[in-house]
Amino acid sequence: MTTGFYTHSDCMLHEMGDWHPESPQRLQAIEDQLIASQIAPWLARREAPLASFDDLARIHGGVAIADIRDNTPIDRNSYHALDGDTVLNSHSWNAALRAAGAAVAATDAVLKGELANAFCAIRPPGHHAMPNAAMGFCLFNNIAIAARHAVEVGGLERVAIVDFDVHHGNGTEAAFANDPHVLMVSFFQHPFYPYSGVPPLGDNMLNDPLPAYSEGDVVRRLVTEKWLPALHAHQPQMIFISAGFDAHREDDLGQMGLVEADYAWITQQIMAVAAQHAHGRIVSCLEGGYNLSALGRSVAAHVRALAGID
């Protein structure tokens, strides 16, 4: 079996203005680096389908879904701001459906044994999207939708969500707080947007706030001492990764100090847990990462680890 790579050209068409760091060029930077690193031939590329209403509704209320659908501009030169940094253009609805659809399709393919694991190169990202509202560059919570799909449709009893974005995944935490099926482990810069996660909302949330300028040695220590014991105790039957790469030392949207080798190491630790408890089943979805060079290199390191490429 191989590593799946889900994406769609619709995800390139969503854009929020030339000023916005969450740009279509992020996906192009990933594609370029996968080619340059000679990783692309090792991946099973699949087009992201459109998510269904039922997929979205497992996490999001009808008003939240309609707010995005009904406010997506018809005029391709127009924008609609949902908040100060979350904006819709005429392609945003389809892009958001493709992003959530990729996460669901990857989950199904991994559960069926068609793929060993999968990475979804998608945008808009998702982990700030609350059950009742979009926020923080995010429209639908792709990783939460996939995790809930694995439980309610796939029949799994225990799943884990790992979030290593520089920002706390407040939307994911809100979706699963005190849900016994789900363990969520995360680190994030604190205090920092969205100023959440401390204290956690539930006993199933292992939130590790880190001060600015924390580097890889700090993160590796907390993964070893906190994440791994919690993950092994939970015995997840599938692991989902909110893969944000904005904790990289070159990324100006955060002030942490990770490098590519740290992302590869974290991925390897997660894979070892998945191998022991989950038949290796992992689905990873792109979240943050805004320095294009650092993003491309970090995703390449992450996907190389998922694919087991030396």
Q: What is the DSSP letter of 259?
A: -
Which domain CATH number covers 174? 3.40.800.20
Report pLDDT digits (tens) over 273-299.
999 999 999 999 999 999 999 999 999
Q: Which pLDDT score, from 0 to 100, does residue 256 have?
A: 98
d(CA 73, CA 77): 8
Active site residue 128: yes
- Cβ-Cβ contacts under 8 Å for 218 (sequence gap 6 or more): 210
Catalytically annotated residue among 14, 127, 128, 248: 128
Domain count, the chain: 1
d(CA 173, CA 160): 12
Q: Which pLDDT score, from 0 to 100, does residue 159 have?
A: 99
d(CA 247, CA 257): 6
Question: Among the residues of 163-259, which ranges form H helices?
Answer: 170-176, 216-222, 228-234
Report the amino acid identity of residue 303. Answer: V
d(CA 146, CA 2): 20
Q: Which pLDDT score, from 0 to 100, does residue 152 have?
A: 98
d(CA 174, CA 64): 14
Strand-strand pairing, 239-243 and 159-163: parallel
Report pLDDT digits (tens) over 140-195.
999 999 999 999 999 999 999 999 999 999 999 999 999 999 999 999 999 999 99
Residue 310 has pLDDT above 90, yes or no: no
Residue 212 has pLDDT above 90, yes or no: yes
Select from 199, 90, 176, 84 the least CA-distant residue to 134: 84
Report pLDDT digits (tens) over 254-271.
999 999 999 999 999 999
Query: Residue 123: which domain range?
Result: 3-307
Q: What rounded mean pLDDT belongs to the chain?
A: 98
Q: Which pLDDT score, from 0 to 100, does residue 1 have?
A: 72
Tokens 């619709």 found at:
10
